C-alpha cells in the first residue's frame, strides 16, 4: 500500500513536456501539476520546490501556494 508520494521536478517535466528537468517548466506549470496530483490521491504528497522560484518573497508565496494545493511537505534546494 502506498503511504505517500513525491512529485519530482524531473517527473513533472517528463510528464508535461517529454523532456528532462532543465528549468524549462515555469512556476505556474509546476504548481498546476502539484495541484492536480495532490487532489487525485488520498495520501500525503511531498513536492520538489526547486530553489523556491526566486527571492525570499517568492519562496513565501510558493510555500503558501503549495500548501493550498494540498501538499504535506516540500523540498527546497539551496544552490548558492
11-63 pLDDT, tens digit per residue, is: 888 888 888 877 788 899 999 999 999 999 999 999 999 889 889 999 999 99
pTM: 0.87
The helix (run of H) or strand (run of E) holding residue 38 is helix 27-40
d(CA 36, CA 38): 6
Instruction: Tell me how far CA of residue 21 lies from CA of 13, 47, 70, in angstroms.
Output: 5, 14, 23
d(CA 72, CA 68): 10
Where do the structural domains in the chain lie, given as residue ranges? Answer: 14-75
Instruction: Tell me how far CA of residue 19 lies from CA of 6, 69, 74, 77, in angstroms.
Output: 19, 24, 22, 21
Amino acid at each position: 500500500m502506498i503511504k505517500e508520494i513525491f512529485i519530482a521536478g524531473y517527473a513533472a517535466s517528463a510528464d508535461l513536456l517529454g523532456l528532462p528537468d532543465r528549468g524549462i517548466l515555469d512556476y505556474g506549470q509546476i504548481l498546476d501539476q502539484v495541484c492536480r496530483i495532490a487532489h487525485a490521491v488520498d495520501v500525503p504528497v511531498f513536492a520538489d520546490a526547486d530553489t523556491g522560484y526566486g527571492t525570499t518573497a517568492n519562496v513565501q508565496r510558493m510555500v503558501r501556494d503549495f500548501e493550498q494545493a494540498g501538499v504535506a511537505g516540500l523540498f527546497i534546494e539551496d544552490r548558492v
